[in-house]
Amino acid sequence: MSARRQIQTKRTEEGIALLISIFILLLISIVAIALIVASGTESSLAGNYRSATGVYYAALGGLEEARGRLLTNSASSFKSTAPAGFLPSPGTALQLGYVRFVVNPGPGDGNVLTTYLDNNYLTEFTAGPSDTKTTASIWTSPPLNTSLNFPGPLYKWVRINAVSEQWLRQGLGQDVFPFDGTIDPTPLFYDGTKLTDDPSSGSQVLEITSLAVLPNGSQKLLQYLIAPGPIALPPFLATLTLSGSPGNGVTFHAPASNSSYAVKGDDYNCSNPPAPSGGNPHAAIGVLTDSNSDIVHVKNGIPTAYQPNYTGVNNPGPYVPDVEDISSSFLPLSLQSPSNLDGLAQSIIQNADAVVITPASSGTPPYLGTATGAALTPLGMSSTNPLTVIVNGNLDISNWSSDGYGLLLVTGTFSYDPDTNWYGIILVIGQGVVHNSQNGQNKQINGAMLVAKTRDLNNQVLAGSNLGGATVQFLDGMGGTGMRYSSCWIQKAQPKGKYKILSFREISQ
């Protein structure tokens, strides 16, 4: 027993080392914890900044996707990828109360419109949406979510809707041009410089709003107002505009044996068949020239008996046929140089819905290939789907018994026969030659046509400041009822530029 006590006594005397160890360990632990807390705060500060920046760009990614897909010539445009009726048909505005969503759910999000409610809409508008349609984001559609499996931005949805004067200034309303003193509940438009509520003077303004939510809960709501930037077209001062200049005479030859062939500058509407609208009349044939001999030359191309068919702004009177020199009002005057007019054609080409490329020809200069009407058929043009179509080369639509809608730009020779109605704008800028090889049926061109020679036989832009002489040469026996000016169809056929950002803001939540 005494031996055991002795051992116990010795054991208790050894405890001082343990105590010191525990004490030191405690001190070190305190220091370590303090350092960890300090560095943890620093890390979370940096983390907050990273997630705030990340969520900002995620929301911006959503806005940019919607802005890009609104373009009709985008590969993943809403027109070709979204359900029918997602966007209104060209020429008509998205109604107020109609709301379109691009949804981009992440794993486990389910229906993002219920998981992440759109609380913002009712703060901007007094009533909820009257019509809602959704489409998938490109990030949740093939090939990005299948074969490529590319992780996209973490935005949840993008809302697209129309805005009105009532919406402006946070729902308090604001009168915009034309200042009529009333706060209208109608869609807003953009005319290139300012907002307006006049639908005839610009493109519709759309509001797009994007919500991004990161897994750590960071949220961001960003908003754009956007509208297509207008592409400046040459002014349409006449139903048929022809280029001419001193030394480069213009050629016009009407069908001599067709009493029905008429070129009328009176304004026609968009009904089918087009009827006089009572709008401002324009010249029947306008010539860009400062030489009276060009005017006389064009008049001489019209059979005397049928000259009363060419009516326009100065009708009735001594101006029948109504062939006029419009060079002084064809503004800006700089457009009457080959390089500027050709440059304008190039800007239209860059924003076209479809470009038909013709193979180079080994025949005669300017070695342009020829496309036929068959190249236009697959485009699916219709009165509700007018397109901007470019033919880089010659176009021969003889015997093409379909109708065309929109803007047609031909850089080579345009062979037209009246088997086709064209509704919209026809620009023949480049070689500036129009003729026919078939007499065709009794159809017509509704809108306006401009024929200008800006290139020489080697397809090089003409040097100097004078346009070449346009050539419109129809066979005597050609059918058709000619051309009618239609401001309505000219408006519908306007090409759309890229969507411009009119305003941007971050919405506080």
Binding site for another protein (CB under 8 A): 2, 5-6, 9, 16, 20, 23-24, 27-28, 30-31, 34-35, 38, 41-42, 45, 48-49, 52, 56, 120, 123-124, 168-170, 172, 174-176, 179, 190, 193-195, 500-508
Residue with Cβ nearer another protein (49 or 150) = 49
For the chain, first and last CA: distance in Å? 79
Residue with Cβ nearer another protein (41 or 111) = 41
| Angle made by CA atoms 323, 324, 328, in degrees to the nearest 5 | 160
Minimum Å distance from CB 102 to another protein? 19
What is the DSSP annotation of 111-130?
SHHHHS---SHHHHSSS--S
- Cβ neighbourhood burial of 379 (10 Å; 0-12, 13-18, 19+): middle
Tell me which H or E stretch contains 40. Answer: helix 16-69
- Residue 441 contacts residue 480 (beta carbons within 8 Å): yes
Minimum Å distance from CB 309 to another protein? 45
Residue with Cβ nearer another protein (27 or 374) = 27
**Residue 444, beta-bridge partner list:** 482
**What's the token pair of residue 474?**
């129809």
**Residue 208, beta-bridge partner list:** 160, 224
Residue with Cβ nearer another protein (5 or 378) = 5
Number of Cα atoms under 13 Å in the Cβ half of residue 283? 23
Minimum Å distance from CB 168 to another protein? 7
Minimum Å distance from CB 206 to another protein? 14
Minimum Å distance from CB 193 to another protein? 7
Residue with Cβ nearer another protein (63 or 450) = 63
Q: From CA 348, how far away is CA 233, in angstroms rounded?
A: 8
> Which of helix, strand or coil describes residue 381?
coil
Minimum Å distance from CB 65 to another protein? 16
Q: From CA 263, how far away is CA 323, in angstroms rounded?
A: 10
Residue with Cβ nearer another protein (116 or 236) = 116
Residue 194's identity, in one-letter code, is K
Minimum Å distance from CB 165 to another protein? 9
Q: From CA 325, how far away is CA 323, in angstroms rounded?
A: 7
Residue with Cβ nearer another protein (26 or 374) = 26
Residue with Cβ nearer another protein (29 or 259) = 29
Strand blocks (E) in 358-403: 370-372, 387-392, 394-396
Residue at token pair 């009572």:
278
Q: From CA 159, how far away is CA 59, in angstroms rounded?
A: 12
**Residue 225, beta-bridge partner list:** 207, 503
- Residue 223 contacts residue 507 (beta carbons within 8 Å): yes
- Residue 345 contacts residue 299 (beta carbons within 8 Å): no
Q: From CA 225, how far away is CA 500, in angstroms rounded?
A: 8
Minimum Å distance from CB 30 to another protein? 7
Minimum Å distance from CB 125 to another protein? 12
Minimum Å distance from CB 51 to another protein? 12
> Which of helix, strand or coil describes residue 324?
strand
Minimum Å distance from CB 509 to another protein? 10
Residue with Cβ nearer another protein (83 or 171) = 171
Residue with Cβ nearer another protein (225 or 354) = 225
Residue 418, preceding peptide bond in cis (omega within 30° of 0): no
Residue with Cβ nearer another protein (61 or 386) = 61
